[in-house]
Amino acid sequence: MGEVVVPIEDNSKHVLPLYLPPRPVPFQIITIKDTSGAAAGVSPPPQGVVNLSDLESWLPLTESRNGSTFSSILHLLCSGIGFQVLFLPVAFASLGWAWGIICLSIAYMWQLYTTWLLVNLHEPVPGIRCSRFVRMSILAFGPKLGKLLAIFPVMYLSGGSCVMLIITAGSSMEQLFNIICEEGTMCRSMSLSGTQWFLIFTCIALIIAQLFPNLNSIARVSLTGAITSIGYCTMIWVLSISKGRPNNVSYGITVADRTGMTGFGNVLNAIGIIMLAFRGHNLILEIQGTLPSDSKHPSRKSMWRGVMVSYVIIAMCLFPLAIVGFWAYGNKIPEEGILTAFTKFHGQDTSKYVIGLIYIWLTISCITSYQIYAMPSFDNLEFIYASSKKRRCPGWVRAGIRLFFGGVTFFIAVAFPFLGKLAPLIGGMAAVPLTFVYPCFMWISIRKPRPKGAMWSLNLGVGSIGIILSLLLIVAAVWKLDDKGLNANFFRP
């Protein structure tokens, strides 16, 4: 047992118990249990008000806190390696060897630093855990500004990522079908439409979602996702080396592509591709929330061990893929990424079963990533039900919520199959600030380091640079859309 000073919320704040008010509140000495961190000396909430610990035990993100360092590694790998890495050689084609490696290294170290910030901010006060990014934002920036800054990025990176996974996996499944069923065969005449491929993927993803109630329970799914993600990344760059370079590959950048507004836009878009290749920051606090924590063994220690192991593996996937992809295809790399380049230049001299295996792994990776990226949305929808009904979601309600979410993401994928072309624009507004900017200012607001001290100056400088980069990436994305146009094929996937 131990004594600490923690802020106690007044009764009016129990309406939204997941959110801690950042404005001054009364302080009181209370006793907490070292094993759970829950307050022991606080009077029970008024009748009809849901207790915070009870509510968190009902929701899928915090329903189980029996995770381990190993499970956190699996979740981090599954959420951290995505199809976006296939576009890294495209960024190198605009930046060249030196600047490509420099920018990728800086982005890697930058996002690793902001991950460290989030891990150490997870328990800002002993006995209180911020297991949701929105809650952390509200604690740092206030109820109104915190929601304004965090809700759109978090919801986009949850629901929007699921939509992109449907689009990517649907296209991969169609490519796999075309590889297996060669032109002129009877099965080719049975080819499905894009909408039907999207529907098949969504149904598979939703069936799996019904089998695993909370984030901690999908560790086996994340294990599958980690294996398949590492598998297709490694297989692509290894095969690219073994097959050799096509003829007339060049690594130089033409004068037209490196000067004027064209050159400026290409460089910024390349930087955007690199920054968007790093993902999963909207799930760091949530993954850490599945780990047990007490005063002797705080969750930040086991979580940081998981981060270090997983990010070494992520680096072993991203750096070879980017460097080898640019070496193999140079300026011949298409905008669709290294997988398209490999199929284009080596599809004829590579077994269709080998290429098919890559697409199978990519599809499975998308299915498993869908589970972990959908969890914040599942949690938010269940929170609305649980806080209004003052009880846990019944099984049929939980199933209905997940079917509803799957239906919404499927509809958006069918209605906006060109969403991938808008990813640089939306990513500049949502993913880049959440990954590279918000954690820096959260640290200043919550930890309150000495003004003009080392941590204060570092976080202020890094956060400010991130804001400037985010604005520049948005401008570059808008300019590219204006220059090349947008094929808005609504409802025609």
Residue-wise pLDDT tens digits, 438-447:
999 999 999 9
The answer, yes or no, to whether residue 43 has pLDDT greater than 60, is no
The answer, yes or no, to whether residue 470 has pLDDT greater than 60, is yes
Residue whose pair of structure tokens reads 């699996």 in the numeric block: 74
The answer, yes or no, to whether residue 26 has pLDDT greater than 50, is no
- Give me the torsion for CA of 442, 443, 448, 452, rounded to 10°: -110
Give the count of beta carbons closer than 10 Å to the beta carbon of residue 345: 22
The answer, yes or no, to whether residue 305 has pLDDT greater than 50, is yes
pLDDT band at 44 (very low <50, low <70, confident <90, very high): low
Give the count of beta carbons closer than 10 Å to the beta carbon of residue 195: 16
Confidence (pLDDT) at 413: 96
Q: pTM to 2 decimals?
A: 0.88
* Secondary structure class of 130 (helix, strand, coil): coil
Confidence (pLDDT) at 47: 56
The answer, yes or no, to whether residue 190 has pLDDT greater than 50, is yes
Single-letter residue type at 371: Q
* Secondary structure class of 183 (helix, strand, coil): coil
- Structural domain boundaries in the chain: 69-416
Q: Which fold has domain 69-416?
A: Hydantoin permease (1.10.4160)
Length of the chain (residues): 493
Return the minimum-mean-pLDDT range out of 167-171, 258-262, 429-433: 258-262
> In this structure, are strands 2-7 and 27-32 parallel, antiparallel, or unpaired?
antiparallel
Return the minimum-mean-pLDDT range out of 39-48, 328-337, 394-403: 39-48
Confidence (pLDDT) at 431: 94
Write the pLDDT tens digit of every residue in 72-122. 999 999 999 999 999 999 999 999 999 999 999 999 999 999 999 999 999
The answer, yes or no, to whether residue 274 has pLDDT greater than 70, is yes
Mean residue pLDDT of the chain comes to 87
The answer, yes or no, to whether residue 4 has pLDDT greater than 80, is no
- Give me the torsion for CA of 421, 427, 430, 436, rounded to 10°: 180
Write the pLDDT tens digit of every residue in 120-152. 999 988 778 899 999 999 999 999 999 999 999
Apex 452 CA angle, 450 and 455, nearest 5: 65
- Cα 53 to Cα 55: distance, rounded to the nearest angstrom: 5
Confidence (pLDDT) at 181: 83
The answer, yes or no, to whether residue 250 has pLDDT greater than 60, is yes
Helix (H), strand (E) at residue 4: strand 2-7
Confidence (pLDDT) at 48: 58
Confidence (pLDDT) at 479: 87
Phi, psi of 5 (to 5 degrees): -100, 120
Hey, CA dihedral for 380, 62, 13, 124, is it positive or negative?
A: negative
Confidence (pLDDT) at 45: 56
Structure-token pair, residue 159: 């629901």
Confidence (pLDDT) at 49: 65
Give the count of beta carbons closer than 10 Å to the beta carbon of residue 390: 11
pLDDT band at 18 (very low <50, low <70, confident <90, very high): very low
pLDDT band at 186 (very low <50, low <70, confident <90, very high): confident
